[in-house]
Amino acid sequence: MKYIYTSFFLLIGVFGFVEPLYAQVNLYESYEQGGTIDIDNTNPNAWYLIGSFQVLEPLLFSPLDDTYMGFRMYSSSGSCGVQTYVASTTDAVVLSGLSELWSSDAISFNTSSTFQTVIRNPGLSSSNWLQPSHDYGIYVRDTCTNNFSVESDSLDLIYYGYFSWDGDYGDTFNEIAGVTRIIDFIPENATTTATSTTFFLSASVYVNEIDYDDDMFLRFRYVRNEDLQSAVANKDVFYTTIDVPILSAGFSSVSTTTNVQSIGKYTYYLSIREPSALNNFLGWFGLGNVTDSGVFDEEDSYFIVVQNTYMDAFIEQMASSTAAIFENPGDLSANLDSCSPLGDFNIATCLTALILPDTLQVQALITTLRTNIFTKAPQGYVTRLIDILGNQATTSLPTISYTFDGNSPLTGETVEFDFAGTMAEASVIINDTWVSSSDDPQSAFEIIMPLWNLFVYFIMALMIFHDLTGIHKHKKHKTV
């Protein structure tokens, strides 16, 4: 019986750790400029797939002779290299920003590069056009041969990956499903941050339509490295795991806050997952999530948590302010030119620039004053009150209703009073009905408001004047 169990677990292990056949290239799905598959007028047998893509991972290579970029079609049976076309750089691939692909210089494929691609498949029959839900390869290679095989011809293959075509014939390129992946995350790798009860974790992810499932989630998982050095049986107890649901396919940002109070170096794992029966099964045996089942993408990094001291805050404040002098000079830099004897020397402008703060600097001061002082207790309560009073947001006026009960003759009847509706109707009457019949018609409000404003502000000025001067009628003091 034990051999059956052993074989079973070995089988699970083999399937769990099996490597994908081809390395996956993370392609951006920014195909907004993409066109449609179209017939080449000059050659009816040529088909062009026009679009653009970006590689996610930087790629650097130095082509020896010619370098070619092309798409490769998988046959429906899954075998490789049956129908291929290696795009010629002269007529089939246009690299935006690169004058020619076979440059002797190193060509850098970086995340900001956008490549316009025109893929031609002159040798393909109609049954071999891009098929829905099929994978297509993208490769860069330094020799040009047809019918190559990735496995047998991998020596000259520099770059290879695939995307899944989820569209139909004639669909635009932007319907190509991208690779489900984690795009970026916070805290970034090797970041040093302060301890906090509201430690911020976030990630932006892309989930394609094919992979998306209602139960899909992003798992934030982190552990303080020194905790793992403790001798305990189950180190999982030291990990903090937070699962945040991914609510839709496509691009989305997932974030949460957590409590990180201990200083130290943390290892940080992120993964896009869906519930896995295999992992649940293994977890039941206490083996944890040891397989890649249900994991679409995974990233790991580390961050360092420190305890900020008072002096840290002071130094940070001073450093940022000093930097602000030079980083946000506004008109200052222009004015400081007037201090140079070799430039447009002007003593008045020079002194002004040296002494008086610039507009942007004043704004920076006000922001700092508010953030570091005015929002702190106890004056923070007053600041909050002012914020509330100054907030322009309105609250919907409630509808009041009353239902008669008991022995009233109106028992069961409901009376409703929609205050907002009543006010809106009244406002329409005042604005649109009560309008003067002059050549330039004005509503009642437009006529009355200037007088009303004058009256209110006059009263306000009178009160301020009264407060400043103390001119008011004194009460007689009672004498005993």
Closer Cβ to other proteins, 265 or 370, answer by number: 370
Q: How far apart are CA 16 and CA 276, in angstroms?
A: 12
Nearest to 179 by CA among 65, 333, 70, 20: 20
Binding site for other proteins (CB under 8 A): 310, 313-314, 317-318, 321-322, 325, 332, 353-358, 361-362, 365, 368-369, 372-373, 375-378, 380-385, 388-397, 420, 423-424, 426-427, 445, 448-449, 452-453, 456-457, 459-460, 463-464, 467-470
Closer Cβ to other proteins, 301 or 361, answer by number: 361
List phi, psi (to 5°) of 416: -120, 145
The least CB distance from residue 308 to other proteins, in Å, is 9
Q: β-strands 217-224, 240-245: how paired?
A: antiparallel
Type and span of the H or E element at 468? helix 444-469
The least CB distance from residue 330 to other proteins, in Å, is 11
Closer Cβ to other proteins, 128 or 328, answer by number: 328
CA gyration radius for the chain? Answer: 35
The least CB distance from residue 187 to other proteins, in Å, is 21
Type and span of the H or E element at 73? strand 68-73
Q: Which residue has the tokens 């319907």?
A: 175
**Torsion on CA atoms 299, 302, 305, 311, rounded to nearest 10:** -110
Q: How far apart are CA 149 and CA 351, in angstroms?
A: 74
> Which tokens belong to 317?
């404040």
The least CB distance from residue 206 to other proteins, in Å, is 33
The least CB distance from residue 296 to other proteins, in Å, is 37
The least CB distance from residue 471 to other proteins, in Å, is 9
The least CB distance from residue 469 to other proteins, in Å, is 6
Closer Cβ to other proteins, 128 or 375, answer by number: 375
Closer Cβ to other proteins, 10 or 423, answer by number: 423
Q: 3-state SS of 201-228?
A: EEEEEEECCCCCCCCCEEEEEEEEHHHH
Nearest to 292 by CA among 272, 311, 265: 272
27, 163 Cβ separation under 8 angstroms: yes
Per the document, the length of the chain is 480
The least CB distance from residue 347 to other proteins, in Å, is 16
Closer Cβ to other proteins, 23 or 318, answer by number: 318
Which amino acid would we find at residue 12? I
202, 253 Cβ separation under 8 angstroms: yes
Closer Cβ to other proteins, 265 or 384, answer by number: 384
Closer Cβ to other proteins, 76 or 371, answer by number: 371
